[in-house]
């Protein structure tokens, strides 16, 4: 589940490894993840990778000197829930049915967008650099959650809606970069209920939440700086302590972590630290018990 820290470490490592590399070919094999038609992928051939960066949960690969016109191009990539952008030393590696985009470099290396699992959701857009900021995917993003999620009052204003914090923090239009995994860690760190409404945050809670966003995402990134090198592994070693740890003791107070199951995600939390001892109704569990 690549979220801000996972996408950021991918961008940092690829930026260091790819800057200046010249592109030999670009192809989207099999299921086409490419969502744009013009320019064609072949326009990248002969271009030079200028930089790799992150915006929200998106990766941006900037390419200079491409095509006849030489106008700068960008690959805008969303890994969705199971994508990886991996750089291999040769084009001979495990190129398989998971490959959605292949960018071969003249030095023999190959950059691959691969996607695991049954859903094909990861996507790529090839845009003129001047189109990037206008693209819906970026134009509708909220402010970045990291490195500076703002002052507590700014965060409070951002989240001032009658919706649960768990939903607000994952809404990329509200704040960009947080998803289903890190939201559990952030709310636990801030000692806030996933169901507390954003509009009900007081000043102290907003400060705790701001600190938790910064420390949790920054801590994850520091971990990846030590733990990860290229190619980005198929399975990321996410340093999660709460998410997917229901049934285990809370690392802070020792109470048993609880969970609420939804069709495609799970909220994990500590009743003692976050919900004043209340165990939230788990619809899946109550249905099974009925
Ligand atoms: Zn606890």
pLDDT tens, position by position, 125-169? 999 999 999 999 999 999 999 998 999 999 999 999 999 999 999
pLDDT tens, position by position, 228-246? 999 888 888 899 999 999 9
pLDDT score of 282: 81
**What is the whole-number distance in angstroms between the Cα of residue 34 and the centre of ligand 1?**
44
What Rg, from alpha-carbon coordinates, does the chain have?
21
DSSP assignment of 148-191? ----HHHHHHHT-SSSBHHHHHH-TTTSBS--HHHHHHHHHHHT
**What is the whole-number distance in angstroms between the Cα of residue 191 and the centre of ligand 1?**
8
- For residue 200, the SS3 value is helix
**What is the whole-number distance in angstroms between the Cα of residue 205 and the centre of ligand 1?**
17
**What is the whole-number distance in angstroms between the Cα of residue 276 and the centre of ligand 1?**
10
pLDDT tens, position by position, 85-130? 999 998 876 667 888 999 999 999 999 999 988 788 999 999 999 9
124 forms beta bridges with: 34, 77
- For residue 67, the SS3 value is coil
């Amino acid at each position: 589940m690549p979220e801000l820290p996972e996408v950021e470490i991918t961008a940092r490592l690829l930026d260091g490894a790819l800057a200046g590399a010249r592109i030999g070919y670009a192809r989207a094999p099999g299921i086409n993840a490419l969502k744009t038609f013009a320019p064609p992928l072949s326009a990248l051939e002969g271009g030079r990778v200028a930089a790799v960066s992150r915006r929200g949960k998106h990766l941006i690969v900037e390419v200079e000197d491409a095509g006849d016109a030489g106008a700068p191009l960008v690959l805008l990539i969303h890994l969705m829930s199971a994508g990886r952008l991996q750089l291999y030393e040769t084009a001979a590696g495990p190129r398989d049915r998971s490959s959605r985009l292949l960018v071969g470099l003249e030095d023999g290396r190959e950059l691959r967008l691969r996607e695991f699992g049954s859903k094909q959701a990861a996507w790529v857009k090839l845009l003129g650099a001047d189109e990037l900021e206008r693209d819906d995917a970026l134009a509708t993003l909220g402010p970045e959650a990291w490195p500076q999620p703002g002052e507590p009052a700014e965060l409070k204003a951002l989240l001032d809606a009658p919706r649960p914090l768990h939903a607000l923090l994952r809404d990329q239009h509200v704040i960009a970069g947080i998803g289903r995994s890190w939201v559990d860690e952030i709310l636990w760190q801030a000692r806030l209920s996933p169901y507390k409404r954003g509009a009900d945050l007081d000043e102290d809670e907003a400060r705790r939440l701001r600190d938790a966003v910064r420390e949790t995402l920054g801590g994850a990134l520091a971990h990846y700086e030590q733990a990860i090198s290229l190619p980005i592994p198929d399975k990321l070693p996410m340093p999660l302590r709460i998410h997917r740890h229901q049934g285990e003791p809370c690392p802070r107070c020792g109470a048993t972590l609880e969970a609420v199951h939804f069709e495609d995600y799970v909220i994990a939390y500590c009743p003692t630290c976050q919900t004043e001892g209340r165990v939230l109704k788990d619809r899946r569990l109550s249905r099974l018990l009925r």
